[in-house]
Structure 1
Amino acid sequence: MEPTARSTGDSPSAATHGGGRPGWRQLEHYPNARYRRRCLTIAVISTIYLYYALYTQGTVATQIIRNYDFSFTTFVVMAIVANVAGAFAALFAGLVDRFGRANLVVGGLLTVALLVLFGLPNAPSRLWFAVLASALAFVEGMALVATPALVRDFSPQLGRGLAMGFWTLGPVLGSLTCTVIASNTLDQHPNWRFQFHVCGAVGLVVLGAAACGLRELTPGLRDQLMVSPRDQSLVEARASGLDPTVAAQGSWRRVARPHVFAAALAIAVFLLLYYTLVGFVVVYFTTTYGYSESRSNALANWFWISNAIALVVGGLLTDRLRVRKPFMVVGTALSVAGNILFALSATHADTSYYTIAGYFVVMSVGGGLTYVAWMAAFTETVERISPAATARGLALWGWILRLVVALGLVGLLATLPSTSTLVDHGQRVRTIAAAHPRQVAVLSALDARTSAVLARDPNDIGALANALREVATQQGASPARAAAAATAVRTRARQVTAARAIRPATLRTLEADPADLAAVGAALGDLVRVLHVDQAAAISLLTSLNDPAVRADLVLVQRYGDILAAARAAIAPADLAYLSAHGTSVARAQRDGPRQWQRWWWICIGGQLLFLPSVALLSGRWSPRRARADERAHAERVARELAALRTASDPTPVPAPLQG
């Protein structure tokens, strides 16, 4: 039988303090199922939006990097600073919990919506963008501690799994919202600011719903353990004599225990791969597979959708079976298996789109089962210490999580130097290569030192010899012929220099008719003018060019020299200089990048394996049979305590517990 609207808070005005006081959002009675579902829905939608706002920049990261001239390293450092800001904001949220969890969420939504709608897309400089991104992370670090606390308050332990399944949809559906909107709008609205404008507009709608409908329990109600809805009468009876200030005293000290720290650290390490995908899935697929931003986001949708389904189904199953720990173990095994397949595919550029999508499904289902079971078990672990310490426990978790993510980003930078090169210089190099594919293929055959020397001095004999050998090899010449071209440059250095000094038209005339006096005179003039030699030396050089052996060598040199010269002439000087400076490093990064990413994926897999021992630190049974026995024992204790309260409460009896 459901309680009446007046006694349960089915009508907000009937169950709140006066509207003008700070606690006007507080419900004085534990609400019925329908009202709880409404508050839970608003809390979950708020969480989804907060993560959507936080992750929006990841969907257009490459554009933001180009727009503000970030280097990839600087961009990641900005993310590190933002996570540190969010970490300490989470601790701060534990301190300001007395001002109201619902108030914290509503204020956070307002600030985030304004930052996303007006702040970030209009940031005047790289520094301002970084400052505003850190401010966004700070506000969300506070709000994202309050939302799981609200979900815990409105969900007895026997329904905690499903409730946390819906709450953990927040980061997943936030990511999914980002990628769905981006993959369907980037082609029509390529400007990255459009994504922020859409996000800000959505935020104002969510803010309106939260401001009007979000409520919370009074401290007296929320600071108690509620295993099932049958405990309502006892919880309300206790609340009338509970001093929230006394109950909250020492909550930081009580919750800051080694097993709580270890459990929070373990899940943070487990989620390293998840947070890598959130921030860099577009960077990974654009640099490793050459996908567009929209195609990369579309592929990520497979991960987020599968993860969302697993979170809800997994939460429901943990409630039905009354256990959490087995789901963490099974989920970790699935996640590791999918992650191994995904890591192995990093060095196989021919891996198909749908094969990777299949790996995403396996790893995301496993990760979802693990995370939803952990969130339910962690809140129950904190409740076992002290229900009044819930917000502090979640603040501690949020603090550790964001610090680990920040440290993980430092590790990512150290592991992926090639990605920095590809993000910073890859696009322009690819653009030049697309416009001049044959010429860039020729120039790419040159090593970096040879290109640099030739850029400074095109007549450097040593660099020219190396360059012609590399060009000959690129053109398909045999090793002997390529070596002969390099040897000809060195042994005929004087003649090569002389031939390069004579104007091409004059040289062609002499090749056709060595006795053409006009051509001879013009050639001698070129030699004297360009090489600064006297007439006798010029005649000696010109005469040596007619030697059959010299001419044979010069023909070989000229063939590959002309190919090199034509390649350099076809590309604009600025592009040629950029290609000379970065082409080789980009090519090397393109080759090394997949192996470096694979190494990072193995590190993430190691983090998931390290998570497994921590499962034993959390409260809860492994066996469904023993869990149900605990449930029956709890129900008997509640019945005895209610009976004692009825005997002691004279003349007003304590209401009977809910049935069913």
Structure 2
Amino acid sequence: MAVEAPRMARWFSRRDIDTYPRGWVQVGLLVLVIIANIVANYEGELAPVAPLLLPYLKLTLLGYGLIVGLTTVVSGIVSLLVGARFDRYGRTFFVAVGTFVTSIAVFSMILVHTTLDFIIVRLVMAIILGLVLPATTGLVRDFTPRVGRALGFGLWTFGPVGANFLAAGVAGATLPLFHDAWQSQFVIMGSFCFVISLVVAFLIRDLSPGLRAQIVHDQEEAQLAALRAREVKETVANPRMVYGSGRIWALAVGIVLFLLVYYFTTAFGPLYLSSAFKYPAAEAASIASYFWLANLGSLILVGLVSDWLQLRKLFSFIGVIGVFVFMFFWIRLIGHPVPPSTMILYTSLQGVLLGIGFGPWMALYSENLEDIHPTLQGTGWALWSFVQYVLAGIGGAITFLVVTAAGWAAWLDICWIGVVIYGILIFFGRGPWFHRPARQPGTERNIVS
């Protein structure tokens, strides 16, 4: 029996579009997804001020790590619980409501005076992130055919990347102006997030359910997809087709292990730089911003090339090799004085290599989900969100246990092992290594497990 959607979700569904977006319409919809993703990735707003916030709250590194880790796990649990509703109700309902609530939560950080206050605000943000992330990834797949999808997902990463780059850059530029008052950053970022949430709520659109059920190879198929969509009467497929797929689990777990160092940089980057290399808080935030800028640039460039060649696994594996070699030298920098200009080069290179490994994977994952069933994108991205936030949350919770006992290098060694495991698990993904795949008709669908 069908489950009736909430009233607000039905209001958003009445705005569905039944033609495949092309040209400036497609660009505009992707921009809305990207800026919504920036708002939802609240960690970016928190990380640059962590060196100032922790002493204010009298919070230890270990306590901060536990809070970060446990609230991150909450995001993953929320994603899994919502699961197929991302496909059944559409994506925009979750995106619009989530960005608005997040903007209010960012503002509320101004009122934080105790550790309990901080935990409550983070918990609200974590719940919303668990709702928004699978919805935005589903929208990127909906708005981009397979030729162009890696670039689309590369631009999507400007959410987590852009949130960190924007907040780190703003903090580096404005903290000195406000005499290192951390509350100033939440006034600035809260104002930005609130305006963006209103724009997203009124302009974002979903594809119609029939159109979401289509596999579109390139823009030439867009018009045909719209015609086929009018004949589609099927409902959302059984989510167990995704949950029971070993291939999907391998890809989801593998990329999360690869990105352990990325999650570390997201949550603790400026804190790590100020602690391990003794940079002032504003300078650490400024240096960290170069990581995100380089990461974004590489995601766009490798997305273009990956879309042209349609070789997702090859580029991801190149990223694995690059990060593996880089971290061998990166770990050995700890404890040695590094000039800021040199550290900028190191952090930028790290951002480039992680982008090479991650961007094509997102296209690979979405295409593997399509091959199972095109109506299960939201379910599949919810599964990845669950794996990502649970593993990253556990990692965040134990980071400073490891650091306190054995130093920063010990945790980065764990991240290094994660890179190696991902290099093995990527072989489970379905897709070519060296030969561009032959074009398949959009009506074909291979059911795989």
TM-score class, shorter = over 0.9
**Given that residues 39 and 103 in structure 2 are in contact (C-alpha distance below 8 angstroms), is that contact kept between their aligned partners in structure 1?**
no
Specify which of 232, 242, 251 is matched with residue 239 of structure 2.
251
Structure-to-structure mapping, 1:315-334, within 5 angstroms: 315-334=303-322
- Name the SS of the counterpart of 2:101 in structure 1: helix
2:343 maps to 1:356: yes
2:152 maps to 1:191: no
Specify which of 233, 245, 257 is matched with residue 269 of structure 1.
257
Aligned equivalents of 1:300 and 1:334: distance in 2? 20
Specify which of 190, 194, 198 is matched with residue 200 of structure 1.
190
Q: Which residue of 2 aligns with 1:146?
A: 135
Q: Which residue of 1 aligns with 2:447?
A: none
Aligned equivalents of 1:87 and 1:235: distance in 2? 33
TM-score, normalised relative to structure 1:
0.63
Specify which of 149, 158, 162 is matched with residue 173 of structure 1.
162
Task: Give the CA deviation at 1:22.
Answer: 4.5
Kindly, what percent of the aligned residue pairs are identical? Answer: 25
Task: Give the CA deviation at 1:20.
Answer: 8.3
Task: Give the CA deviation at 1:193.
Answer: 1.0
Aligned equivalents of 1:388 and 1:28: distance in 2? 15
2:101 maps to 1:92: no
Task: Give the CA deviation at 1:244.
Answer: 4.2
Specify which of 144, 151, 162 is matched with residue 155 of structure 1.
144
**Given that residues 39 and 215 in structure 1 are in contact (C-alpha distance below 8 angstroms), is that contact kept between their aligned partners in structure 2?**
yes
**Given that residues 251 and 386 in structure 1 are in contact (C-alpha distance below 8 angstroms), is that contact kept between their aligned partners in structure 2?**
no
Task: Give the CA deviation at 1:344.
Answer: 0.7
Q: Which residue of 2 aligns with 1:34?
A: 24
Q: Which residue of 2 aligns with 1:506?
A: none
Task: Give the CA deviation at 1:255.
Answer: 4.3
Specify which of 386, 398, 401 is matched with residue 411 of structure 1.
398
Aligned equivalents of 2:64 and 2:10: distance in 1? 44
Q: Which residue of 2 aligns with 1:211?
A: 201
2:57 maps to 1:68: yes
When the two chains are superposed, the root-mean-square deviation of aligned CA atoms in Å is: 2.1
Aligned equivalents of 1:20 and 1:266: distance in 2? 36
Aligned equivalents of 2:37 and 2:28: distance in 1? 14
Task: Give the CA deviation at 1:316.
Answer: 0.5
Q: Which consecutive residues of structure 2, in runs of 5 or more, have no partner in the other structure?
A: 1-8, 445-449
Q: Which residue of 2 aligns with 1:236?
A: 226
Task: Give the CA deviation at 1:96.
Answer: 2.7
Q: 1:376-418: per-residue Cα shift (whole Å, max 9, x none)?
A: 1000011111111110000000000000111212331321116
TM-score, normalised relative to structure 2:
0.92
Q: Which residue of 2 aligns with 1:59?
A: 48
- Name the SS of the counterpart of 1:60 in structure 2: helix
Change in Cα spacing, 1:329 to 1:174, as seen in structure 2 (3 Å) is same
What one-letter code is carried by the residue in structure 1 that aligns with 2:173?
Answer: N
Task: Give the CA deviation at 1:250.
Answer: 1.1
**Given that residues 100 and 198 in structure 2 are in contact (C-alpha distance below 8 angstroms), is that contact kept between their aligned partners in structure 1?**
no
2:398 maps to 1:621: no
Specify which of 253, 271, 275 is matched with residue 283 of structure 1.
271
**Given that residues 103 and 194 in structure 2 are in contact (C-alpha distance below 8 angstroms), is that contact kept between their aligned partners in structure 1?**
yes
Change in Cα spacing, 1:606 to 1:232, as seen in structure 2 (3 Å) is same
Change in Cα spacing, 1:384 to 1:253, as seen in structure 2 (3 Å) is closer
Aligned equivalents of 1:91 and 1:231: distance in 2? 33
Change in Cα spacing, 1:358 to 1:103, as seen in structure 2 (3 Å) is same
Q: 1:610-657: per-residue Cα shift (whole Å, max 9, x none)?
A: 111122222221124x42xx12xx25x86x9xxxxxxxxxxxxxxxxx
**Given that residues 382 and 393 in structure 1 are in contact (C-alpha distance below 8 angstroms), is that contact kept between their aligned partners in structure 2?**
yes
Change in Cα spacing, 1:22 to 1:273, as seen in structure 2 (3 Å) is closer
Task: Give the CA deviation at 1:608.
Answer: 0.8
Specify which of 250, 269, 281 is matched with residue 293 of structure 1.
281
**Given that residues 379 and 390 in structure 1 are in contact (C-alpha distance below 8 angstroms), is that contact kept between their aligned partners in structure 2?**
yes
Specify which of 30, 40, 48 is matched with residue 50 of structure 1.
40
Change in Cα spacing, 1:329 to 1:269, as seen in structure 2 (3 Å) is same
Aligned equivalents of 1:393 and 1:227: distance in 2? 19
Change in Cα spacing, 1:614 to 1:42, as seen in structure 2 (3 Å) is same
Task: Give the CA deviation at 1:54.
Answer: 2.7
**Given that residues 44 and 168 in structure 2 are in contact (C-alpha distance below 8 angstroms), is that contact kept between their aligned partners in structure 1?**
no
What one-letter code is carried by the residue in structure 1 that aligns with 2:346?
Answer: Y
2:154 maps to 1:343: no
Aligned equivalents of 2:158 and 2:130: distance in 1? 17
Specify which of 350, 371, 380 is matched with residue 367 of structure 2.
380
- Name the SS of the counterpart of 1:243 in structure 2: coil
Q: 1:141-162: per-residue Cα shift (whole Å, max 9, x none)?
A: 2111111100100100011111
Change in Cα spacing, 1:396 to 1:141, as seen in structure 2 (3 Å) is same
Task: Give the CA deviation at 1:252.
Answer: 3.2
User: Matched residue pairs, number?
Assistant: 436
Structure-to-structure mapping, 1:518-537, within 5 angstroms: none
Q: 1:479-507: per-residue Cα shift (whole Å, max 9, x none)?
A: xxxxxxxxxxxxxxxxxxxxxxxxxxxxx
Aligned equivalents of 1:600 and 1:185: distance in 2? 31
2:295 maps to 1:307: yes
What one-letter code is carried by the residue in structure 2 that aligns with 1:356?
Answer: M
Task: Give the CA deviation at 1:46.
Answer: 1.3
**Given that residues 105 and 121 in structure 2 are in contact (C-alpha distance below 8 angstroms), is that contact kept between their aligned partners in structure 1?**
yes
Task: Give the CA deviation at 1:176.
Answer: 0.5
- Name the SS of the counterpart of 2:176 in structure 1: coil
Change in Cα spacing, 1:225 to 1:281, as seen in structure 2 (3 Å) is same
Q: 1:155-199: per-residue Cα shift (whole Å, max 9, x none)?
A: 000111111111122211111111101100111111111111111
Task: Give the CA deviation at 1:218.
Answer: 0.9
* Structure with more helix by fraction: 1
Q: Which runs of 4+ in 1 moved over 6 A?
A: none
Task: Give the CA deviation at 1:84.
Answer: 1.2
What one-letter code is carried by the residue in structure 1 that aligns with 2:428?
Answer: L
Q: Which residue of 1 aligns with 2:5?
A: none
Aligned equivalents of 1:48 and 1:254: distance in 2? 27
Aligned equivalents of 1:293 and 1:405: distance in 2? 25
Structure-to-structure mapping, 1:250-649, within 5 angstroms: 250-348=238-336, 350-417=337-404, 596-624=407-435, 626-627=436-437, 630-631=438-439, 634-635=440-441
**Given that residues 242 and 379 in structure 2 are in contact (C-alpha distance below 8 angstroms), is that contact kept between their aligned partners in structure 1?**
no
Change in Cα spacing, 1:186 to 1:295, as seen in structure 2 (3 Å) is same
Q: 1:558-589: per-residue Cα shift (whole Å, max 9, x none)?
A: xxxxxxxxxxxxxxxxxxxxxxxxxxxxxxxx
What one-letter code is carried by the residue in structure 2 that aligns with 1:60?
Answer: V
- Structure number with the bigger relative contact order (C-alpha 8 A, sep ≥ 6) is 2
**Given that residues 146 and 391 in structure 1 are in contact (C-alpha distance below 8 angstroms), is that contact kept between their aligned partners in structure 2?**
yes
